[in-house]
Chains A and B, each alone.
Chain A
């Protein structure tokens, strides 16, 4: 049981390039989330998904797109990378249910945009 797995762990891009970050979970969680973490700002929600085939915007969605074609995978895309998107990206997942459930995080992807 690997939990939440993120790939890649590190990446350096040039401004204007595109890339996709992959998140995979093996806990059969309905909900999945993408966050970015910047110094002194905690974690901010980019996009989230409440189930296969659904996505929704979070707090800071601009410049990012997501897809949830399979329940276990949640992809985060940067169409045209900008230096402001240099950050550490975390994926998380949780069970659904009547009450809020804890979120479980992956190890993160450190992304640098030059």
Chain B
């Protein structure tokens, strides 16, 4: 079946440094790639998404890049802050309709003071 691989599973960075999380997907028909942030005990919340007709999207300190040829997409967080500590999930749309997406296994990001 289709899958999304996410790396690394854990990431620790110094406050103020940048963090990068990478994902690969298998379904060549995927055209929508959301990223969710989940704080401990909370719901997943959408932080940014990108569609296949663009290669990069930025929202303040967060950016996402997409390489359709290589089936890679990445999340970049700059000037990290303590409140960025959370689990981040990438996801990719599936070939079928109904806005179904498949999630990566998550990256636990810790920001060191």
Instruction: Tell me if A43 is interfacial: C-beta within 8 Å of chain B.
Output: yes
**Which B27-74 residues have C-beta < 8 A from chain A?**
31-32, 34, 36, 42-46, 49, 51
**Which B61-108 residues have C-beta < 8 A from chain A?**
89, 93, 97-106
Bound-state CA distance A43–B97 (Å) is 19
Instruction: Tell me if A13 is interfacial: C-beta within 8 Å of chain B.
Output: no
**Which A1-46 residues have C-beta < 8 A from chain B?**
31, 33, 40-45
**Which A34-87 residues have C-beta < 8 A from chain B?**
40-45, 48, 50, 56, 58-59
- Chain A contact residues (Cβ within 8 angstroms of B): what range? 20 to 34
Q: Chain A residues with Cβ under 8 A from B104's Cβ?
A: 42
Instruction: Tell me if B18 is interfacial: C-beta within 8 Å of chain A.
Output: no
B49 touches A102 (CB 8 A): yes
Q: How far is the CB of B34 from chain A (nearest CB, A)?
A: 6
Q: How far is the CB of A101 from chain B (nearest CB, A)?
A: 5
A99-B51, A102-B46, A107-B43 in contact; A43/B103 too (CB < 8 A)?
A: yes
B99 touches A96 (CB 8 A): yes
Bound-state CA distance A41–B99 (Å) is 21
A105 touches B105 (CB 8 A): no
**Which A75-114 residues have C-beta < 8 A from chain B?**
90, 94-96, 99-108
Instruction: Tell me if B9 is interfacial: C-beta within 8 Å of chain A.
Output: yes
Bound-state CA distance A48–B106 (Å) is 22
Q: Chain A residues with Cβ under 8 A from B98's Cβ?
A: 31, 48, 50, 56, 96
Q: How far is the CB of B104 from chain A (nearest CB, A)?
A: 6
B43 touches A105 (CB 8 A): yes
Bound-state CA distance A100–B50 (Å) is 11
Bound-state CA distance A71–B11 (Å) is 40
Bound-state CA distance A103–B103 (Å) is 12
A94 touches B99 (CB 8 A): yes
Provide a sorted-by-A list of 7 A–B residue pairs whose CB atoms are within 8 angstroms: A31-B98, A33-B100, A42-B89, A43-B89, A48-B98, A59-B1, A100-B99
Spell out A's residues near B (CB within 8 Å).
31, 33, 40-45, 48, 50, 56, 58-59, 90, 94-96, 99-108
